[in-house]
Amino acid sequence: MAGYDQGMLGLIGWIVQLAIASVGFAVVLGMLFERRPRWKTAWRGRPIGRAPRWWLGLTGSLKESAALTERQVLLAGCGIRIEPAAYLAARRSLLALLVLIALLAYLQRGKLIPSVFGWYLFFAALAGLLLVLFDRAALESYRQHRTDRIRKELVVVSSQLLYYEGAKLHLHGKLMRCLPYTRVLRGEMQLLLNEWYHDADVALTRFKSRVGTGEAYGFAETLRALRMNENGEIYEMLRETVREFKAKIEIAKAGRKETASYFLFVLAGIPILYSFQIFIYPWVQESQKLFDKLGS
């Protein structure tokens, strides 16, 4: 019993040390950023820090590359306002750190650290390494989910704008009435309306960059055209955009149903394989033995 208590205390101690080391690494990374106030209105009043150039150069994140361009598109589509080069540098730094932890845990198990805790640390580092390696798939999945939700909200907002066609309201007033119908776009729409009278063109450009999807780009350009001239042709173009968005929503819904059907098909096959292994496979083995005896 005393050995069990001692082992549990040792395990808790290693977990606490690992947590402190992780927090320390995050604090050091945070201290590396210079916090400069920039775009306070456009970025919800939060200053955006820039990573030091020596760190970006050390991790190879300064030069243009396919990985940097891909992360830039994914981060914009996910609505994550992080400098792509800093994200790529942090990812590569974290990969190197996790590989180092895994190697140290494997080589020093039973020496500097107990063998059991060494294996725990080794597998924990491997799990973290896999999560970091497959970050692109996670970002792509979230971007698709966010794009679907934005597309649905833009359909509702566009339908409301069509409802106000011919009304003696300024476009800003119409958008104000559409604001309660948004959830994902609530913050971006609120900033757009706040910046509207300062400079509408700049506000629409910032709205496109904040949302970061093709649908938001087309919607912003439609708003720009409506601001210049609210005629029937622009509203007809808006109706065509709504129909296109609805078609894409149906296609995405059909794709999700097909994926779910494949998943259910695989789940349904598991009991069948299990039944084959338990009930049928022994008979197959006995029949094979019988045929081997008859053949001999």
Read off the pLDDT of each residue in 224-242 and give the average, rounded to a whole number.
85
Which residues, 6 or more positions from 200, have their beta carbon under 8 angstroms from its beta carbon?
A: 224, 227
Q: Which DSSP symbol is given to 134?
A: T
Tokens of residue 134, six digits: 């497959």
Q: Which DSSP symbol is given to 113?
A: B
Does residue 265 surpass a pLDDT of 80?
A: no
Q: What is the pLDDT confidence band of residue 4, given thresholds at 50, 70 and 90?
A: very low
CB 50 within 8 A of CB 34: yes
pLDDT at position 167? 80
Read off the pLDDT of each residue in 172-201 and give the average, rounded to a whole number.
90
175 to 51, 117, 136, 245, 261: CA distances (angstroms):
37, 58, 35, 19, 40
CB 213 within 8 A of CB 154: no
Q: Between these two residues, 69 and 115, which has the higher pLDDT value?
A: 69
pLDDT at position 154? 92
Does residue 210 surpass a pLDDT of 70?
A: yes
Q: What is the pLDDT confidence band of residue 279, given thresholds at 50, 70 and 90?
A: low
In angstroms, the CA 150 to CA 152 distance is 5
CB 150 within 8 A of CB 217: no
Crossing angle between the packed helical segments 214-228 and 135-163, to the nearest 10 degrees: 30
pLDDT at position 110? 63
- Tally of residues, the chain: 296
CB 102 within 8 A of CB 122: yes
Residues 13-64: tens digit of each pLDDT: 555 455 555 545 544 444 444 444 343 444 443 434 467 888 887 788 877 8
Q: Between these two residues, 257 and 241, which has the higher pLDDT value?
A: 241
Residues 110-132: tens digit of each pLDDT: 676 677 777 778 888 888 888 88
pLDDT at position 50? 66
At position 183, the amino acid (one-letter code) is R
Residues 152-178: tens digit of each pLDDT: 999 999 999 888 887 888 888 889 998
Residue 138: CA count within 13 A, CB half-sphere: 6
* Rg (alpha carbons) of the chain, rounded to whole number: 28
Lowest mean pLDDT among 141-145, 166-170, 181-185, 287-291: 287-291
Q: Say if residue 23 is exposed, middle or buried (CB neighbours under 10 Å; 0-12, 13-18, 19+).
A: exposed
- Here the contacts of 180-186 (C-beta below 8 Å, separation 24 or greater) are 181/153, 181/156, 181/157, 182/153, 182/156, 182/157, 183/149, 183/153, 184/146, 184/149, 184/150, 184/153, 185/150, 185/153, 185/154, 185/157, 185/211, 185/216
Which residues, 6 or more positions from 173, have their beta carbon under 8 angstroms from its beta carbon?
A: none
